[in-house]
Amino acid sequence: MIKIAPSILSADFARLGEEIASIPSADYLHFDVMDGVFVPNISIGIPVLASVRKITDMTLDVHLMITEPRRYVKDFIDAGADIVVIHAEADTPEHTMEALREIRALGKRAGLCIKPKTPAEAALPYLNMLSLILVMTVEPGFGGQKFMPDMLPKVEFLRRAIDSGGHKVELEVDGGINPETAKLCVAAGADVLVAGSAVFGAQDRAAMIRRLRGA
Amino acid sequence: MIKIAPSILSADFARLGEEIASIPSADYLHFDVMDGVFVPNISIGIPVLASVRKITDMTLDVHLMITEPRRYVKDFIDAGADIVVIHAEADTPEHTMEALREIRALGKRAGLCIKPKTPAEAALPYLNMLSLILVMTVEPGFGGQKFMPDMLPKVEFLRRAIDSGGHKVELEVDGGINPETAKLCVAAGADVLVAGSAVFGAQDRAAMIRRLRGA
């Protein structure tokens, strides 16, 4: 069963409560944190997550596009994150491992994200620690970008690595996902699809979530 | 006439539109941007400002607690900032001057903020460029902190510098402002008061704005 994680980066931030209430069939709510240092945009952070946590029981899938994420893992968990996804490129391997360990020690699901220029192999050393791997299918920083089909071999590679190792790790993709690119991602082995503009820009959001899930 | 600038850091981010609609008598809406690098918190940024701009004509007073703010001045102006306040401590003096020049060149009001440990004199070289000086009366990073009365001599010093030079610069204070500390700040020469918890935590927000303004 494919899971759908609408990204609130494409929502109307003046009425987040209503936006979130409009997607009850979503599996995860994807929460894009950008610090203006690791990526060229500054989006939303801890107090916004705390406000969102108060109004929904949905699984909050928090994607930290920030430098040295280890510094903020606990703050985001305290604010309500269920899954904390950090970037393989955001700190040293030692600190990345420490951050993943801390997420798990705090009882939450640990995720690792790789940018388009990072090879899939970069995720392998962490596989035992992970509940989720996120493959970026656009350069992180903005919503509404075009899907990069040359990321599909990375999804296939990671699907094989996860299955052959018997790991219980979800494989998520993020960037330019619509009903057409969703098909490609699912065929390559993705089981969680992040979609921002596709869902929040749809006339019928529930129908769009069904279409993506059926990809 | 004292101006009141409620800080949306203390608002409910799940219903920002309603929160903003609840303070029609405010003069400015204070918008606290934190990047997790310049200050130890990550708050709100460009897409949130763009959503807020669409629903209000209120003057948006955007306080950039971010490192090297020059990088993002244009993005925040494009997203709807009316006043862009950068920190004296966030970059070199040359880059700070460049950023202030860019804000003015883009037709917006330029502001400079100083942290509690920064002497008031740090603002003097920029006085000709500024529409606003913001004196932090707590360490920036979080709402709900206690007012630091030892910041009042800085407010008095800057009031004299502004008046004796014949500058048209507003003098704003931010941190721990309530009806009692507001009096102290106004007596010291402040003419814009940022208030987060005091306003958004009040039973009657309009009454609280009147009380602060009457300080």
CATH of the domain at B12: 3.20.20.70
- Asked if B51 and A9 come within 8 Å (Cβ–Cβ), the reply is no
β-partners of residue B29 are: B60
Other residues' Cβ atoms within 10 Å of the Cβ of residue B126: 19
Task: Return d(Cα A113, Cα A215) in angstroms, integer.
Answer: 23
- Asked if B36 and A71 come within 8 Å (Cβ–Cβ), the reply is yes
A82 flagged as catalytic: no
pLDDT tens-digit map of A55-68: 999 999 999 999 99
pLDDT value at B129 more than 90: yes
What's the total number of domains in chain A?
A: 1
* C-alpha triplet A25, A196, A170: angle, nearest 5°: 65
Query: Residues of B with CB below 8 A from A72's CB?
Result: 36, 42
Q: Band of the pLDDT at A92, cuts 50, 70, 90?
A: very high
CB nearest to B54's CB, from A14, A47, A75: A14
- Asked if B51 and A20 come within 8 Å (Cβ–Cβ), the reply is no
β-partners of residue B62 are: B31, B84
Confidence at residue B215, expressed as pLDDT on a 0 to 100 scale: 85
Percent of chain A with pLDDT over 70: 100
- Asked if A15 and B12 come within 8 Å (Cβ–Cβ), the reply is no
Q: Which of A12, A27, A32, A78 is catalytic?
A: A32
Within 13 A of B206's CA, how many CA atoms are on the CB side? 4
Query: Residues of B with CB below 8 A from A35's CB?
Result: 35-37, 42
Determine contact: A2 vs chain B, CB below 8 A.
no
Residues B2, B193: contact at Cβ < 8 Å? yes
pLDDT value at B144 more than 90: no
Phi, psi dihedral angles at B182 (to 5 degrees):
-60, -45
Mean of per-residue pLDDT scores for chain A: 97
CB nearest to A51's CB, from B14, B33, B47: B14
Please state whether the predicted TM-score (pTM) of the whole model is above 0.95.
yes
DSSP H or E run through A135:
strand A132-136
Look up residue A35 and give its amino acid: D
Determine contact: B32 vs chain A, CB below 8 A.
no
Print the domain residue range for A60.
Answer: 3-213
Confidence at residue B178, expressed as pLDDT on a 0 to 100 scale: 97
Task: Return d(Cα B21, Cα B58) in angstroms, integer.
Answer: 10
CB nearest to B42's CB, from A9, A17, A46: A46
Chosen for mutation from B12, B32, B42 (greatest number of chain A CBs closer than 10 Å) is B42
Q: Band of the pLDDT at B25, cuts 50, 70, 90?
A: very high
| Residues within 8 A of B (CB atoms), A 126-165 only | none
Confidence at residue B136, expressed as pLDDT on a 0 to 100 scale: 98
pLDDT value at A182 more than 90: yes
Task: Return d(Cα A20, Cα A28) in angstroms, integer.
Answer: 11
Mind giving me the DSSP string for B3-45?
EEEEBGGGS-GGGHHHHHHT-TT-SEEEEEEEBSSSSS-B-B-
CB nearest to B17's CB, from A9, A14, A51: A14
Query: How would you list the strands of the sheet with B132-136, edge to edge?
Result: B3-6, B192-195, B170-174, B132-136, B109-114, B83-87, B59-65, B28-34
The average pLDDT across B92-108 equals 98
Task: Return d(Cα A189, Cα A120) in angstroms, integer.
Answer: 14
Confidence at residue A119, expressed as pLDDT on a 0 to 100 scale: 98
Percent of chain B with pLDDT over 70: 100
**CB proximity list for B44: less than 8 A, separation 6 or greater:** A13, A43, A44, A45, A47, A48, B8, B9, B13, B31, B32, B33, B34
pLDDT tens-digit map of A104-115: 999 999 999 999
Query: How would you list the strands of the sheet with A3-6, edge to edge?
Result: A3-6, A192-195, A170-174, A132-136, A109-114, A83-87, A59-65, A28-34
Confidence at residue A215, expressed as pLDDT on a 0 to 100 scale: 85
B191: which DSSP letter? -
Confidence at residue B164, expressed as pLDDT on a 0 to 100 scale: 96
Confidence at residue B86, expressed as pLDDT on a 0 to 100 scale: 98
* C-alpha triplet A194, A198, A202: angle, nearest 5°: 140
- Asked if A15 and B15 come within 8 Å (Cβ–Cβ), the reply is yes
The average pLDDT across A36-45 equals 98
Residues B135, B150: contact at Cβ < 8 Å? no
pLDDT tens-digit map of A143-166: 888 999 999 999 999 999 999 999
Determine contact: A67 vs chain B, CB below 8 A.
yes
Mean of per-residue pLDDT scores for chain B: 97
Query: Chain B residue with minimal CA distance to A21?
Result: B14
Q: Band of the pLDDT at A177, cuts 50, 70, 90?
A: very high
Q: What is the 3 state secondary structure string of B118-160?
A: CCHHHHHHHHHHCCEEEEECCCCCCCCCCCCHHHHHHHHHHHH
Chosen for mutation from A7, A9, A10, A13 (greatest number of chain B CBs closer than 10 Å) is A13
Mind giving me the DSSP string for A138-156?
S-TT-SSPPP-GGGHHHHH
Active site residues of B: 32, 174
